[in-house]
Chain A
């Protein structure tokens, strides 16, 4: 079991399966707001869904309307349980706040190489702890 420290931007206590994107994500255009399915054919996660999983990715990019996609995912019950990233930028921050999805960033190492797709992850922002089971 590995424990990691981070910065919490939107607090929460969640446990779930990780899905890890090695590429930065533009929520606009690369994630289907209805289903959470990854639409970018260049991404190894192409065709898989981030819904009800802990989504781990290096950072956000692309159009700022991506925040509305994150909000849409929540309303369509297709949102990830939590967003885990190396550096949260405004698109992801705004989306996570609007949708009330736990968001953490600023790990000591590249989080996308430490967590693997399929790992069971536990996040507790109050205890400042992320555990890989």
Chain B
């Protein structure tokens, strides 16, 4: 059956003349197909038009998750030599580009992974291989429309930076990157960005893992809703990142507000939020207890979900107190290549490595097969990592504050 017969002919969304030409195939088969994708998703979500985007963050990079299926799709795109039309960058891959052998990644996997990265690069996409573009020079501006896909990057772009993006899928973020367009619905519209629930934070929220626990709790209880958090003190980007990533992974939450902190929060009157809930010490402890399932010796300690910032690396260094790791401890930190390679990080990286900590870029404990295949008793400070790793039946996870983790692993 031909393409024309398959995709419904009546377009229920407003398109400019130029967009119509793209859809009709005047710019090639690949562009036509990508436009069909964007238009159809728009129609299903009752969008009235398409809008231009400022940037795209593209998922579907790790060979562990995309498998060989991605190559057939690449064939379609490469035939027409398509290129991205807006600044675009990539999600983490399944391995560190430089240290894959040290990660015990096999040659076949590495070959496929490099092929995927190089194909994206050919399309003009920056190979950042990170879930934290905002830490490496790609901070979105307030009110900008984006097509980002990784769930923690999406929620940070919306909540912390006040930019506007839906949770794009792997193909739709790529389609948006190439066409420069996305459908105007969901979180692109101001009226859909208001809070659903006010969370009065009564518990002590100090450590990054406390923020993680708060995010986990909200995500589990209020799937898909938008919170307004009041009474949280000493909020930093790093801590917010831990909270946001937990909400996004556990509860598909894509936007949030923090009183006196996030840009959209200023425009909101707390009295307009109908539902009010208190988050107490009890709820916080429940989350920590949920992830206290390791039995016997921990075989991996891992930090860096989402990818660590430079200041988090410095924090790990300070908790080490010039000590080395106990000899039998395997400790893996994940970050972005840009943070690790930065001049300011060089002393810290050298120090951490000399004391036995392994630092990997370009990947993480969730999207690389290595962690699942080699470890079963894992300790982490990230509720998001705990959530994903423990879905594997053989893996037990302990969620703990970074400071306490460090106390346990040094000599």
Chain A residues proximal to chain B, CB less than 8 Å: 8-12, 28, 33, 63-65, 67-69, 71-75, 88, 90-91, 93-95, 97-98, 100, 102, 125
Contact = CB atoms under 8 A, between A and B. Distances in A.
B40 interface: yes
A54 B170 CA distance: 25
Dominant secondary structure at the B interface: helix
B170 A64 contact: yes
Contacts of B170: 63-65, 67-68
Contacts of B40: 9-10, 93, 97
A20 B42 CA distance: 28
Interface in B143-177: 149, 168-172
A73 B8 CA distance: 22
A41 B66 CA distance: 21
Contacts of A9: 8, 40, 44
B172 A98 contact: no
A68 B70 CA distance: 6
A63 B170 CA distance: 9
Contacts of A68: 60, 66-67, 69-70, 73, 170-171
Contact of A67 (B6, B7, B44, B171): B171
B33 interface: yes
A69 B168 CA distance: 17
Given A64-B170, A68-B170, A94 B73 contact: no
B281 interface: no
Given A33-B67, A33-B69, A72-B72, A10 B37 contact: no
Contacts of A72: 67-70, 72-73
Interface string B1-36: 101011110000000000000000000000001001
A12 B6 CA distance: 6
Q: What are the 8 closest A-B residue pairs judged by CB atoms, nearest first?
A: A72-B69, A64-B169, A75-B72, A68-B69, A64-B170, A94-B171, A67-B171, A33-B69
B73 to A, nearest CB: 5
B406 interface: no
Contact of A100 (B6, B73, B171, B172): B6
Nearest to A90: B169
B33 A98 contact: yes
Nearest to B150: A64
Given A67-B171, A90-B172, A94-B171, A10 B7 contact: yes
Given A65-B69, A91-B169, 16 more contacts: A9-B8, A11-B7, A11-B8, A28-B65, A64-B59, A67-B170, A68-B66, A68-B73, A68-B171, A71-B72, A72-B68, A94-B171, A94-B172, A97-B37, A100-B3, A100-B7
Contacts of B149: 64
Dominant secondary structure at the A interface: helix
28 contacts: A10-B40, A11-B8, A12-B1, A12-B6, A33-B67, A33-B68, A64-B60, A64-B170, A64-B172, A65-B59, A65-B60, A68-B66, A68-B69, A68-B70, A69-B67, A72-B68, A73-B69, A90-B169, A93-B40, A94-B41, A94-B171, A97-B40, A98-B37, A98-B171, A100-B3, A100-B7, A102-B6, A125-B8
Contacts of A95: 171
Nearest to B175: A94
Nearest to B62: A65
A10 B6 contact: yes
A8 B8 contact: yes
A74 B69 CA distance: 10
Name, among B1, B66, B171, the residue most crowded by chain A CB atoms within 10 Å (CB to CB): B171
A98 B73 contact: yes
Nearest to A94: B171
A90 to B, nearest CB: 5
Contacts of A69: 67, 69
Nearest to A64: B169
A75 B169 CA distance: 20
A100 B172 CA distance: 16
Contacts of A12: 1, 5-6
A32 B40 CA distance: 26
A67 B170 CA distance: 8
B60 A90 contact: no
Nearest to B7: A10
Name, among A10, A75, A93, A94, the residue most crowded by chain B CB atoms within 10 Å (CB to CB): A94
A52 B384 CA distance: 38
Given A68-B171, A93-B41, A98-B171, A63 B73 contact: no
